[in-house]
Amino acid sequence: METKEAVKLVFTLILCLCDLVRTDTDDDIAYQTGGDDSMKFGQAKAVRYLLYDVNPGEGFNLRRDVYMRVTTLVHELNKEEPWVLVLPPWGRLYHWKSPEFEQIKIPWSTFFDLPSLRQHVPVLEFEEYLKVRGEPVIDEVYYLQSFKGGWTKWEEKMNITECNDRTGFVQDEDGNWHHWFFGYEEVYAKKFACLSYMGHATFIKPFLLKNTTGRCIMLPRAETLLHDHFGDTGYWRARRSMVFAKHLRDIGDEFRWENLDSTDEGDETVLEDWTKMKRKHGDALGGPYVGIHLRRMDYLYAREGNLPSLKGAAKQVKKILKKYKLKKVFVATDAPSEEFEEFQGYFKKSKVYRFIPSKEIKEKYKDGGIAIIDQWIAAHARYFIGSYESTFSFRIQEEREILGFDPETTFNRFCPDDNLDCEGPSKWKIVY
C-alpha cells in the first residue's frame, strides 16, 4: 500500500460521538488526528490507546494541568503511529464533598467541549473506549513512581523496578490485575509493573513505542510526568483546546446577564473557534464588576500568613471598586455561608454576588461543574483578584489570557493584612 493511500485510510476514520460503532475487527476503529498535518505513517497501523490516572489526592485544577502534559505526549506519539488519548472519568476528588449524590464515572463532556479537545489530539471517553474495544480490558499498566531514595541530581531516566509503596493493584488466580478503575468493577488489566521515572512527558515516548505491544497502555500517577516546556506554544495550544462545555458557559452567561450587567458583546469577550482566535492583551474589556477568588477552608492553615482576614479582603476589593468606578463584586469561594455573609456585610455601597446552583444544576453537573461556572463568571470581570498559590485562581488567569484581558487586571492576588505590598503571582502570558 502506498504511503499516501495508507495515510488517507487512517485519517478518513474520523471520530464522532454519534458514530462510535463496534465492528468485527479490532483494526476498524474510529480515529481523529487532532488537526496536525505533520502526522505521517509509512503504512496503515492499528490505533493504540493511552489511558492515564492521577494521584487520588490531587484536585480538579491540577488534574487539568496533568491532562495538558499527557496531550503533549500523545501529540508526539502521533508523529510515529496513531494513538488516541482515553480520558479518565472524574470522581471522588478531595474538594467534591456534596453528600447528596455520588460523584463517580463522570465523563469529560460534563465539563469540557469534546470537539474542541479533539482539535488538539484525538480523545475518547472511557466508556467510548470500552464500547469500541468490545471488552473491559487494559493490556498493560505501568505505575509511575519516583526513584527510591530520591535523587541528588536531576536527570531523565526510567526503569522497571519493584513498587515503592502499595499501589492498589491486585492480581487474581488467572494472572489478571484488578483495581478501582474509576468505579468500573468489570475492568481488568493483563499486565502490571512499576516504572520508576524522572523526566518530561515525552521522555517516555520511546518506551511506549518500542517496549510495549498492547493496544491500550495505562499510566497511573501521571502527575510524575513533567511539562516539556511550560508556557510555550504547545502548552497554550493544549490549554486553549480545553473549552468549557457549552451548557456550563450558558449557565454562567445567564448569571452574568441577570446580576452583573455583563454580556460577551458588551464586555468584548466573544468566544470564537480557539484554533483561529488570537486575542491581544487589552482586547477584552470585561463586565462592570470585580471578580475575586477568595480561598478559605483548608487554606486558612495550609497558607497561613499569606491570606487576608475577611475584613482585610473587603478593604482590598473596595480599593479596586473605587479605582475602576465599579459597584458590583462576584465572589468565587469555598467559604461557608456564614463567612460569605460576613464578607458581604462589609460592603454598604456595593452589591456582592455568589453563584448558588439549583438542586437540579448541582445534581446534573456536580461540584466540578459548579467550579467551572464560578471560574467562567470570574474570568469575565473587569478586574480579577485571586488567592495565593491557588490553581483555581491560576486557571481563571489563563482563561483571561485567552480572552485577551490586560495582564494588569488579571495577575493579582489578595495580600495578608500586614503586608499589602505582597509579591503578585507569576505572569504566564499567552503564546500563539
**Strand-pair partners of 332:** 293
Helix ranges (H only) for 195-283 are 205-210, 233-241, 246-259, 264-267
In angstroms, what CA-CA distances link 399 with 42, 375, 377?
39, 8, 11
Which cell goes with 238?
493544549
Give the Cα separation of 120 and 234 in Å (integer). 10
Of 89, 51, 56, 55, nearest to 70 by C-alpha is 51
How many Cβ atoms are within 10 Å of 15's Cβ, its own excluded?
22
Give the Cα separation of 343 and 310 in Å (integer). 6
Span between the terminal Cα atoms of the chain, in Å:
37
Question: Which of the residues are catalytic?
Answer: 58
Give the Cα separation of 303 and 322 in Å (integer). 28
Question: Rg of the chain's alpha carbons, rounded to an integer?
Answer: 23
Question: Would you say 139 and 182 are in contact if contact means Cβ atoms under 8 Å apart?
Answer: no
Burial of 386 by CB count in 10 Å (0-12 exposed, 13-18 middle, 19+ buried)?
A: buried
Q: Under 8 Å CB-to-CB from 298, ≥6 apart: which residues? A: none
